[in-house]
Structure 1
């Protein structure tokens, strides 16, 4: 399933791309706990998005495939018991008067018993969860100064 969204942040694309190297700061994202560096350079965390069934903690690995001032590509694998979610997120960073407009699109695959959840419910939960974590992470990036 493909989902997408966008938001504006006061940070530059380069500052947003730099978040991939600042794992310790990602603990400030409300839905992420136990954030560590994986042995392959990935970010490992307990991601707990809010769902209609309450918080759903997922052991998650985020691997940055590309990150620069123009955008990023993230490969995400999350698991809880027999349920698994794989997501490829493509981000675009476009300069604007307010900082950067971040566009994102995600290809989402749900496996296991969770795959039987109605597509509409899965789409809404995933879109909200991805948007929330991306916006919270973007808020950690250094804002552009008024002189940039």
Structure 2
């Protein structure tokens, strides 16, 4: 199984449950894409802020979630069968605001810059970058309306 990732709009307390749903629940608005990680997303944040090489990924609050958990105690269940682990990264509020406020023209411009960046390795296809930026902007608008957060849930490999 290859690495996959899902972006969600969630109340902060539901981040782990959303990650474990693996995009299979209509409870949380989401967007799925293969082979994405927090470093690629942090590069997009760098481009939006006009900075480079500042370890922006460290600004994403992160936690590890197992594919099952005791929801009552919120403790991870020891997974002896080698089940999936998820790295859950919460977007910084400033990143969500910048995404939510981007115009369509700005989206195209930033997508082109992101696609050309060495960290962007899903595809050298400009349409992929434009789609991801558009979806992240859509989710950011929802997060702002709902007063929730945007998260990235990455599967372990």
Superposition TM-score, scaled by structure 2 size: 0.29
Report the structure, 1 or 2, having the larger strand content.
1
**Per residue, is there more helix in 1 or in 2?**
2
